[in-house]
Amino acid sequence: MYPRSFHYHRAKSLQEAAAMLAQLGDQAKLLAGGQSLIPLMKLRFANPAHLVDLNFIAGTSYIHSEAGVGEGGYSETGVSEGGVLRFGALTRHAEIENSALAATVPILHDCAAGIADVQIRNRGTIGGSLAEADPSGDWACVLSTLSTEVRCLGASSPERVIPLSEFILDAYTSALQPDELVSEVMVKIPVKGSGGAYLAFKRSAPVYPTASAAVQLTMEGDRCTDVAIALGCVGLTAIKAKDAEAALRGQTLNDKALAAAGEAASAAAEPQDDMRGSADYKRALVGALVKRAIAIAARRAHGEQVEVSHIYA
């Protein structure tokens, strides 16, 4: 099926794109990577009268540290505990996958490298993914385990910086105003002794996960001093598994603690029966993914280089 006809607009700046949104109203959609919007348009689930293309705006795809040390021949000495990694809204998943800066926070590499296939990673963007607020998306789940903020630019309002926890409100619903767009995503670099891991269970690479789990923790020896756990694809938004976090925080990471966290994560999940599996199956799957992600995150927190790949049915 082909999309309905639409008017195409090529924005020269983010400010101009925001102004177009304000002028064209709710019949306008932004085109970033297009990996969510274009399939919806081809199925005619989305029928915008106007399409505003962001892809020709200079300076919207980048990865650098708060100190301004970035990719492309610069050193990485600006990456330090408590610093911030900044991602332009149109930074492609593949750019993050191949970024030495992003790899300093391993869970970011896990996420980018595991999204769909090469074609999708070369086109999809981090800003578009968050703005879409798709319940099956990877970035919202992963970034909710880190201290993440979203910078938003509007035509009629001052620039806003919104914590990710307040940015995604519901399935396909964000805090963006009608004339606002995402301009930057900011991720605080975890403290020393931290490690994270993101795992998803998929039927094949191009499809969304059946379930996923993101874990970011801080270790002192064998004891977990802090932890964040998020579950993906088992609710209308990424679910923070607070009881699972409580089961680990302050505890030695032994088999008993991991089992308790897995059980708590399963209980926190809110899955639905669908073609990917029953709700009970997904709850069991979430518990297994969380336990495996905790073990990998702990090894990384102790300085091990652990490769991660998603699990395929």
What is the b/e burial string over 280-307, where b = at least 16 CB atoms within 10 angstroms of the residue's CB?
A: eebbbbbbbbbbbbbebbbebbeeeeee
What the chain holds in terms of domains, given with CATH numbers, is 7-53 (3.30.43.10), 63-70+80-188 (3.30.465.10), 194-306 (3.30.390.50)
pLDDT digits (tens, 9 = 90+) for 100-128: 999 999 999 999 999 999 999 999 999 99
Mean pLDDT lowest for which of 1-5, 185-189, 209-213?
1-5
**Cα-flanking dihedrals φ and ψ of residue 93, to 5°?**
-55, -40
Residues 6+ apart with CB under 8 A from 94: 112, 118, 121, 122
Distance CA 41, CA 31 (A): 11
pLDDT for residue 69 is more than 60: no
Candidates 221, 287, 212; CA nearest to 251 is: 221
The residue whose two tokens read 């396909």 is 172
Confidence of residue 60 (pLDDT cuts 50, 70, 90): very high
In whole angstroms, what is the distance from residue 172 CA to residue 84 CA?
A: 27
Residue 117, SS3 per DSSP: coil
Contact 275, 251 (CB under 8 A): no
From CA 193, how far away is CA 308, in angstroms rounded? 19
- Mean pLDDT confidence for 237-257: 97
> Which of the four pLDDT bands, split at 50, 70 and 90, describes residue 223?
very high
Give the helix ranges, DSSP H, for the chain. Answer: 14-24, 37-42, 93-97, 106-114, 118-123, 126-132, 139-143, 164-167, 242-248, 255-268, 279-301
Of the pLDDT bands very low, low, confident and very high (cuts 50, 70, 90), residue 200 is very high
pLDDT of residue 233: 97
Identify the pLDDT of residue 80.
64
Residues 45-67 as b or e (16 or more Cβ within 10 Å = b): eeebebbbebeebeebbbbbbbe
Q: Residue 67's pLDDT is what?
A: 62
Predicted confidence at residue 100, as pLDDT, reads 96
Give 306-311's long-range contacts (Cβ < 8 A, gap of 24+): 306/106, 306/197, 308/106, 308/110, 308/114, 308/197, 308/198, 308/199, 309/114, 310/114, 310/199, 310/200, 310/201, 310/202, 310/205, 310/209, 311/199, 311/200, 311/201, 311/202
Band the pLDDT of 79: cuts 50, 70, 90: low
Residue 284's closest CA among 211, 218, 224, 233?
211
Give tens-digit pLDDT for 287-306. 999 999 999 999 999 999 99
Copy the structure tokens of residue 24: 């064209």
pLDDT reading at 71 higher than 80: no
Asked whether residue 15 carries a pLDDT value surpassing 90, the answer given is: yes
pLDDT at 55: 96
Q: Is a pLDDT exceeding 80 seen at residue 195?
A: yes
Of 255, 197, 194, 249, the C-alpha closest to 224 is: 249
Chain centroid, CA 79 distance in Å: 20
